[in-house]
């Protein structure tokens, strides 16, 4: 398929299409119109057509979309047809929670290792995998073809660890540390700033309260 530059706003909506199409597929539904998809997803049908047109469009006039085909194609676009090797840096509560979440593995995101700088934590096993000390991280990344690192460490150490990861060839960072990483453009960073999300909720509660 021909690839063109598409906006991050569209990219951000693709996983949601993928999720809804997966549910339709599980229900045995074979085809869906943009209007039906619009009703289920509560976005406009024209938005749906526009978004999917970025990838050449999969719909046919008068037929709609083939659910299974569209699901597979979006999966491929999202890179889910290949496996990713991940490590988690930071074996605290959040790191362990992510490591234990099996749905990621079902989608091809395989956690190969977990690292921590606390000697009390190193050597413990999580899902049968031993927590390794930080000084083994760089060689592990190189030797195990790791492409994504998940950072679940405090902000104070995140910047330095990100630099180490870039140095040993990581391609993407899923960053839960509450800091903006400065890495070369070739490295993809996806931030999950939980505090920001909670503050946004707090704002919406406050502004709603003012309206009363």
Question: What residues line the site for a second copy (CB under 8 A)?
Answer: 3, 8, 11-12, 14-16, 18-19, 41-42, 77-80, 82, 84, 92-94, 96-98, 100-101, 103-104, 107, 109, 147-148, 171-172, 174, 178, 180, 186, 188, 190, 192-208, 210-211
- Residue with smaller CB distance to a second copy, 28 or 212: 212
Q: How far is the CB of 183 from a second copy (least distance, A)?
A: 12
User: Packing angle between helix 45-53 and helix 8-26, nearest 10 degrees?
Assistant: 110
Residue 96 tokens read as 């362990």
- Residue with smaller CB distance to a second copy, 60 or 154: 154
Q: How far is the CB of 135 from a second copy (least distance, A)?
A: 25
Q: How far is the CB of 91 from a second copy (least distance, A)?
A: 11
Q: How far is residue 35's CA from residue 43's CA, in Å, rounded to a whole number? A: 9
Q: How far is the CB of 155 from a second copy (least distance, A)?
A: 9
HSE of 76, CA atoms in CB hemisphere, 13 A: 9
- Residue with smaller CB distance to a second copy, 135 or 208: 208
Q: Which is it for the CA torsion 31, 34, 37, 39, positive or negative?
A: negative
Q: How far is residue 205's CA from residue 203's CA, in Å, rounded to a whole number? A: 5
Paired sense of beta strands 65-66 and 172-175, if any: unpaired
Q: Which is it for the CA torsion 161, 166, 171, 175, positive or negative?
A: positive
Which residues have a Cβ under 8 Å from the Cβ of 201 and sit 6 or more positions away?
none
- Residue with smaller CB distance to a second copy, 142 or 200: 200
Closest CA to 151 of 105, 88, 93: 88
DSSP string computed for 19-44: HHHHHHHHTT--EE-HHHHHHHHTS-
Can you tell me whether residue 86 is helix, strand or coil? strand
Q: How far is the CB of 127 from a second copy (least distance, A)?
A: 11
Q: How far is the CB of 199 from a second copy (least distance, A)?
A: 4
- Residue with smaller CB distance to a second copy, 12 or 28: 12
- Residue with smaller CB distance to a second copy, 41 or 134: 41
């Amino acid at each position: 398929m021909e690839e063109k530059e598409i906006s991050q706003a569209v990219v951000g909506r693709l996983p949601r299409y993928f999720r809804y199409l997966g549910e339709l597929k599980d229900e045995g539904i074979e085809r869906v119109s943009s209007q039906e998809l619009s009703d289920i997803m509560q976005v406009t049908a024209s938005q749906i057509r526009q978004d999917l047109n970025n990838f050449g469009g999969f719909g046919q006039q008068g037929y709609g979309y083939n659910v299974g085909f569209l699901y597979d194609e979006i999966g491929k676009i999202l890179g889910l047809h290949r496996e990713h090797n991940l490590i988690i840096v930071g074996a605290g509560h959040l790191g362990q929670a992510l490591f234990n979440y099996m749905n990621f593995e079902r989608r091809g995101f395989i956690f190969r290792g977990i690292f921590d700088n606390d000697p009390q934590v190193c050597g413990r096993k999580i899902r049968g995998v031993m927590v390794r000390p930080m000084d083994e991280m760089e060689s592990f990344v190189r030797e195990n073809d790791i492409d994504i690192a998940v950072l679940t460490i405090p902000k104070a150490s995140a910047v330095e660890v990100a630099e180490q990861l870039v140095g040993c060839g990581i391609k993407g960072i899923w960053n839960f540390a509450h800091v903006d990483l400065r890495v070369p453009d070739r490295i993809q960073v996806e931030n999950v700033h939980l505090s920001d999300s909670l503050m946004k909720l707090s704002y919406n509660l406050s502004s709603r309260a003012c309206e009363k």
